[in-house]
């Protein structure tokens, strides 16, 4: 009886530990949020996000990104102590959307800015991408639980940037190389 109780509480103890581990998502912690902030700031300095950004020709998008997209990349991009390629995608949505409407007034239709930045050694299982989803003002979008979408989103989970981008052709989790400018 006694042994059983001890084993029982051990099992509960172990379960609690693994639940705690699961409860902490692999993204959106303080360090991820700070890095996402630095990333946005640097993108802004390079005219890739924010008011004075340059834009490429919008094209019809694919789910779950916007109805129209415009995507730009830079091969050598430095944020804090990391240097690597960055891909910035602007996601447009709204009523009666057309390429011309987006081109003429991008701010009216911009719903989100999704970014992939390669940080060497950050997540070797997933080609070292740092993922972030920003709202047009540069604040981070969140998941339904309020967790900021920045970092390894959502490593080990069935849905999210990583799970979906893992299905991209090629071997770097990137879908549309041909679209970048």
- Binding ligand HEC (rule: CB under 6 A), the pick from 36, 67, 69, 102 is 69
- Alpha-carbon gap, residue 133 to 150, rounded angstroms: 7
CB neighbourhood size of 108 (10 A): 11
Nearer to ligand HEC, 84 or 160 (CB): 160
- Alpha-carbon gap, residue 7 to 26, rounded angstroms: 30
| CB-based burial label for 30 (10 Å; 0-12, 13-18, 19+) | exposed
| CB-based burial label for 120 (10 Å; 0-12, 13-18, 19+) | exposed
- Binding ligand HEC (rule: CB under 6 A), the pick from 49, 71, 77, 152 is 71
Q: Taking CB under 6 A as the rule, does residue 72 contact ligand HEC?
A: no
Q: Taking CB under 6 A as the rule, does residue 176 contact ligand HEC?
A: yes
- Binding ligand HEC (rule: CB under 6 A), the pick from 82, 87, 102, 110 is 87
Q: What residues make contact with ligand HEC under the rule CB under 6 A? A: 61-62, 64-65, 69, 71, 87, 89, 114-116, 131-133, 149, 153, 160-161, 164-165, 168, 174-176, 179
């Amino acid at each position: 009886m006694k042994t059983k109780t001890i084993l029982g509480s051990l099992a509960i103890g172990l379960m609690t530990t693994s639940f705690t581990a699961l409860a902490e998502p692999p993204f959106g912690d303080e360090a991820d949020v700070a890095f996402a902030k630095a990333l946005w700031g640097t993108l802004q300095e390079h005219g890739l996000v924010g008011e004075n950004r340059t834009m490429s020709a919008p094209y019809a998008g694919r789910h779950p990104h916007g109805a129209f997209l415009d995507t730009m990349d830079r091969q050598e991009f430095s944020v804090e102590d990391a240097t690597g390629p960055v891909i910035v995608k602007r996601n447009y949505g709204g009523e009666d959307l057309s390429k011309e409407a987006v081109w003429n007034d991008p701010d009216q239709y911009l719903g989100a800015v999704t970014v992939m930045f390669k940080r060497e050694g950050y997540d070797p299982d997933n080609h070292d991408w740092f993922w972030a989803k920003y709202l047009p003002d540069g604040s981070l979008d969140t998941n339904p639980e309020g967790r900021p979408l920045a970092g390894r989103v959502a490593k080990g989970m069935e849905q999210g940037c990583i799970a979906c981008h893992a299905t991209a052709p090629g071997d770097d989790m990137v879908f549309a190389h041909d679209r970048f400018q």
